[in-house]
Chain A
């Protein structure tokens, strides 16, 4: 079976750095995604990792360790608009299904 765990909620301060962790267990791994979802809006793609290591994209970076079943999303220089839910999702090798975690709701304080 598959299982994806991430914290339910986190709070950080504007201008600071926050790291959102995700651990997963799947029958076969074929890539990990991070999506951002503002309340009442569509999830939007942030990053994709299929090999171990860090992928940097502006203020956002995503890290993957396949041997540990672990990823994190790092957000730097936080802005108020970063207040949203962050969804970790894993694509399974067997059938290419993308399975989502419950999401982490991030609150940014001024």
Chain B
């Protein structure tokens, strides 16, 4: 148990579907992140939220839409995705307290777009 919970663990969707990924952290952190992990590629930072405010949008296509209603919850809304969007989507959180500010990751949502 890492303290960061993601649902669903697996998701299969068609290109015309709309779905949402959910992330919840129980660590009292105030920064939350979405990363994309594709085969043979490094983890790619997508979005960063600090105190519910989006501070980073790493040139992500608009078919991915994040939402952060409070410091404990983060969503990624998906619509009209492409097959190349199939990947593992990882949520993470961190706290600025302490010098290392390490990331705590959830187990991810394995997304397949057909």
Contact = CB atoms under 8 A, between A and B. Distances in A.
Given A100-B42, A100-B43, A102-B40, A42 B90 contact: yes
Given A42-B4, A98-B45, A48 B40 contact: no
Contacts of A35: 103
Nearest to A49: B100
A51 to B, nearest CB: 10
Given A42-B2, A42-B90, A102 B41 contact: yes
Contact of A97 (B40, B42, B45, B108): B45
Interface in A4-59: 4, 31, 33, 35, 40-45, 48, 50
Given A4-B42, A97-B45, A42 B100 contact: no
A41 B104 CA distance: 12
Secondary structure dominating the interface of A? strand
Contacts of B45: 97-99
Contact of B105 (A44, A99, A103): A44
Contacts of A100: 35, 42-43
B99 A50 contact: yes
